[in-house]
């Protein structure tokens, strides 16, 4: 009996790569994507990816998208209640596990495990402890296409926002910056790769400074498949 897995989906490379890894496991069936969305702005929490792009990603990977709506601002109590509700709904739909694309942050892993305690769903960490310098190159070599949409200006200059996540980007990272941005140095949005049926069409728009970060707005272009969302 395969494990029926919901995947925590940020819109970025780590969650996309996790999907790729999961789909190569014959004992796993990925049954949907879980995404937290700031309902005030219609964007993914943390990454600030437009909801329209995340919906297009879900269509491109052929999976239902389950949006977890969050207000703005959002307290931790409200966030955890929303997550518990989504997890319970996933269990009722037959899911057995929730997968995360975390790489090495022990406190984040422990928090995920605690969130799922008593829920009936088990956590999975398919790329845990993959060497980030190697996995970043492996993603690119496999054809993953991503844009850097958020940077921490304390770690990287504004010029990195809006760039392609490619070998040149990795080569230019300052010393001490994790190649996968695991410490929050940068976040990405995936537009194509081996986990996609077809690449997405999007353009880099305005770069803005907000809440202590630089965000590059990724604007969907015409040509992405029609809208469809599980809710």
Could you list the pLDDT tens digit for every one of the 231 residues in the chain?
789 999 999 999 999 999 999 999 999 999 999 999 998 888 998 789 999 999 999 999 999 999 999 988 888 899 999 999 999 999 999 999 999 999 999 999 999 999 999 999 999 999 999 999 999 999 999 999 999 999 999 999 999 999 999 999 999 999 999 999 999 999 999 999 999 999 999 999 999 998 899 999 999 987 665 444 454
Tally the domains of the chain. 1
Distance (Å, whole) CA 120 – CA 158: 43
Task: Give the C-alpha separation, 199 to 56, whole Å.
Answer: 10
pTM of the predicted protein model: 0.93
In a domain, 65, yes or no: yes
| Domain of 95, in residue numbers | 3-220
The full DSSP string for 132-186 is HHHHHHHHHHTT-EEEEEEE-TTTS-GGGTT-B-SHHHHHTPPTT--TT-TTSSE
Question: Which of 89, 10, 8, 21 has its CA nearest to residue 43?
Answer: 10
Among all chains, which residue has been given the structure tokens 């504004």? 158
d(CA 134, CA 103): 12
Do residues 44 and 36 touch, judged by C-beta distance below 8 A? yes
Residue 72 main-chain phi, psi, to 5 deg? -135, 125
The pLDDT score that the predictor gives to residue 11 is 97
- Beta strands at 43-44 and 28-38: parallel, antiparallel or unpaired: antiparallel
The residues that bridge with 160 in the sheet, in sequence order, are none
Nearest to 26 by CA among 55, 5, 56: 5
* Res 228: pLDDT: 41
pLDDT at 114: 94
Residue 226 domain flag: no
- As a whole number of angstroms, the distance between CA 78 and CA 128 comes to 28
- Tell me if 230 is assigned to some domain: no
Identify the pLDDT of residue 229: 45
pLDDT at position 230 = 53
Domain assignment present for 216: yes
Decide if 102 is inside a domain.
yes
Write the CATH number for 50: 3.40.50.620
């Amino acid at each position: 009996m395969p494990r029926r897995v919901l995947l925590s989906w940020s819109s970025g490379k780590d969650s996309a790569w996790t999907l790729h890894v999961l789909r190569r496991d014959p004992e796993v069936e990925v049954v949907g994507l879980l995404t937290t969305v700031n309902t005030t702005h219609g964007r993914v929490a943390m990454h600030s990816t437009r909801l329209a792009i995340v919906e297009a990603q879900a269509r491109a990977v052929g999976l239902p998208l389950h949006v977890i709506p969050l207000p703005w601002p959002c307290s931790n109590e409200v966030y955890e209640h929303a997550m518990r509700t989504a997890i319970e709904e996933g269990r009722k739909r037959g899911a057995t596990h929730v997968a995360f694309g975390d790489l090495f942050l022990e406190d984040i892993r422990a928090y995920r495990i605690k969130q799922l305690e008593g829920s009936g769903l088990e956590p999975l960490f398919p790329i845990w402890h993959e060497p980030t310098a190697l996995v970043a190159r492996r993603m690119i070599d496999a054809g993953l296409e991503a844009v850097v949409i958020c940077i921490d200006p304390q770690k990287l200059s504004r010029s990195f926002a809006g760039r392609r996540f490619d070998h040149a980007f990795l080569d230019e990272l300052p010393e001490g910056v994790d190649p996968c941005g695991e410490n929050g140095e940068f976040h990405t949005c995936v537009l194509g790769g081996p986990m996609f049926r077809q690449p997405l069409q999007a353009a880099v728009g305005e770069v803005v400074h907000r809440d202590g970060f630089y965000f590059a707005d990724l604007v969907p272009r015409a040509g992405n498949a029609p809208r469809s969302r599980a809710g």
